[in-house]
């Protein structure tokens, strides 16, 4: 049985629209793990661009899932990145902290990303539940 990533399964299940977003518009909210980043770089160099889009907030373009892919694409000089836009403040997007010593909120995730004050790697976990399409065809 083929292993399918959470992000891939999410895109397939909600029939999300993938958009190409300029690398300059996207903002991360977490630092990346250097070992995992190197793994992603190698995969992209060996196999080409990955089929898994990055999941971002539709208003702020803050990355919710895909920090390592984003950093790798940027390092490799990609100008447009495949993304799925979601309404982050929707009840269909849930946020959890992976660290008991670091509380998180959606507002703080956005604020830290916009300030460039990144959380440590793997601090947040986002769960996407049956997301409806965004209004006005933006998702």
CA dihedral 2, 3, 5, 11 (to 10 degrees): 20
Q: In this predicted structure, what is the pLDDT of residue 3?
A: 45
pLDDT of residue 39: 92
In-domain check, residue 104: yes
Write out pLDDT tens, residues 42-94: 988 888 777 788 999 999 999 999 999 999 999 989 899 999 998 899 888 89
86 part of a folded domain? yes
Q: What is the rounded average pLDDT of the residues 23-33? A: 96
Asked if residue 80 belongs to a domain, the reply is yes
Q: What CATH number does the domain containing 120 carry?
A: 3.90.1530.10
φ, ψ for residue 6, nearest 5 deg = -60, -40
Domain count, the chain: 1
Range with the poorest average pLDDT among 65-69, 101-105, 119-123, 135-139: 135-139
Q: Specify the range with the lowest mean pLDDT, choosing from 8-12, 40-44, 54-58, 105-109.
A: 8-12
Mean of the per-residue pLDDT values of the chain? 85
Please give the pLDDT value at position 92: 84
Q: Looking at the domain assignment, is residue 1 inside a domain?
A: no
Alpha-carbon span 127 to 92, nearest angstrom? 8
Q: Quick check: 82 and 18 in contact, CB under 8 A?
A: yes
In a domain? residue 13: yes
Distances (CA, A) of 137 to 8, 18, 36, 44, 69: 21, 12, 34, 30, 26
Give the range of the structural domain holding residue 44, as residue numbers without chain letter: 6-137
Report which of 102, 121, 116, 117 is spatially closest to residue 33, judged by C-alpha positions. Answer: 121
How far, CA to CA in Å, does 134 sit from each of 1, 46, 83, 88? 33, 35, 14, 11
Is residue 91 annotated as a catalytic residue, yes or no?
Answer: no
pLDDT for the residue 137: 46
User: Is 40 inside a domain boundary?
Assistant: yes
pLDDT at 17 over 90: no
Write the burial class of residue 112 (CB in 10 Å: 0-12 exposed, 13-18 middle, 19+ buried).
buried
Phi, psi of 63 (to 5 degrees): -75, 130
Q: Is 44 part of a structural domain of the chain?
A: yes
> Catalytic one among 2, 24, 30, 39?
30
Q: Is residue 16 part of a domain?
A: yes
Rounded CA separation 62/29 (Å): 7
pTM for this entry: 0.82
């Amino acid at each position: 049985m083929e292993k399918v990533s959470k992000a891939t399964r999410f895109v397939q299940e909600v029939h999300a629209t993938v958009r190409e977003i300029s690398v300059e518009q996207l903002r991360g909210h977490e630092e990346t793990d250097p070992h995992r980043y190197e793994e992603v770089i190698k995969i992209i160099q060996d196999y080409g661009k990955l089929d898994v889009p990055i999941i971002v907030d539709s208003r702020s373009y803050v990355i919710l899932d895909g920090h390592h892919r984003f950093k790798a694409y940027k390092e490799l000089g990609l100008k447009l990145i495949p993304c799925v836009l979601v309404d982050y403040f929707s009840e269909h997007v849930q946020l959890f902290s992976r660290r008991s010593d670091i509380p998180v909120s959606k507002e703080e995730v956005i604020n830290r990303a916009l300030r460039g004050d990144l959380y440590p790697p793997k601090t947040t976990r986002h769960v996407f539940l049956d997301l409806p399409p965004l209004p006005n065809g933006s998702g």
